[in-house]
Structure formats: structure tokens, C-alpha cells
Structure 1
């Protein structure tokens, strides 16, 4: 059973033969399962689709109205600034954020994630381990 699972759309950057594609080789080496969403079904990839729409309306549409870019590095810098704002300052009303920023949600969840990691199972106190066995 893989430790991680990644879900992608069926975009061309992820296609290729499993044995030869660098992306697939990396996933295999890291024991990460790769599953793909159903083709032509954006509702199965809704979080990404919503992010793309938000990025278009709140970032690209505004940036391209304000400035004429002459170098790729200029737009890259402005996008990175927007992503920093999006992740650390802009409150979200999504499924897991409940009005917090993604950064706050991530930090709040780190403790929960550590509790469920298999590596930490053997670091738990004996009393917690005995309680877990009793609950089974």
C-alpha cells in the first residue's frame, strides 16, 4: 500500500509509459500511487478548477490590465506575490478553511497529521497504545 496518493487530471504532462516517463518513475521510487480523474469531467477535479478560476479573475485579469509585461520574469514575480497573498493573507471560505487562510489551515492541521502518521505509532505512550488496543 503506497504511503501517498496523488490525483491528477489526464493532462499531457502526466501521460506517458509508466516505465519511461520521469514523473511516473519518480512516483514509483517514492512509493506514491498515481490515480487520474475521469476524462472530461471537471467536477471530479473541482478544487483545482475553482483555483484556476480564482487565479484568472483575481490575478491574471487584474495584472494584465495594470501592466504590459516584456519579460517572463516580471510576470513570474507578480504571480509569486499574488500566490503569497492568496495563501497567507486572503481568507478562504472553502471546505476546510472556514474563513482562515490556507496557511493557517495547514498549520492547524499539522498536529493532526502527526498523530496519524505510522512512523509516530511507536512513539506514543504505552497508555495511549493500550487504550487504542482496547478500542479495537
Structure 2
């Protein structure tokens, strides 16, 4: 199964997305959910309006979508779920610095971005193994 990689980024007034490994797939929305929906609509329009011979190879068969966020977009999107205090406990990164990342005041270095990603993946792995 092929993997379509979609990058999601935040700007001052909306979110935008583009396919990293396929040309011609772009989207935007006021929220990440709207942007994801617009990506699916862009794929649908390609399939509806172009002959199959002109479709990108990835979308001709079965494929999955990997949603790839920049740090600002990720922190904005999950701000209603994770407080900066919770993220500070998970990552060890100061709340004020997390706020700066979420609001585009500063961008984290690669090692800090990986630290945030590792903390969230660790939480996800823990949650997937629990039962009630």
C-alpha cells in the first residue's frame, strides 16, 4: 500500500496543506479538520476531472495518508486537549516556550521538535495498551 504524505502548516489566519510526495494536491481550511477534509476533496476532484492516466500513481490504487504537522500547527490543533502545563510535564519544555511555538513567535530546533514528538508518541503507546 502506498503512503500519501500530507504536510499541514499553520499561518496567521488558516491552515494549509500540500502533498509532499505528489504534485497537485493542495488544501486549506480554518481548522485542521477542515484542511483534512479539503485534502480529500482535492483528491476526489482529481479523480473526477482528470483521466485516470493523469492521476498521480499513489492515488490510483490503495493508499494511506500520513498527516505531517509543523510544530505550530500540532500545538494549535491539540491546544483544546493538551494544556501547556500538561505538555510541560510530558516534555520538560517550559510552558512559555511552548506558547511561543504554538503562536509562531519562535520555532523549535530539531532536537526540541523530536522531544515533543517522542513525548506524544510515548503517551499514545501508553494509552493504546491500557484497558478499563
Greater per-residue strand proportion: 2
Greater per-residue helix proportion: 1
- In the superposition, the TM-score normalised over structure 1's length comes to 0.29
- The structure with higher relative contact order (CA 8 Å, sep 6+) is 2
- In the superposition, the TM-score normalised over structure 2's length comes to 0.29
User: Considering only CA atoms, is the larger Rg found in Structure 1 or Structure 2?
Assistant: 1
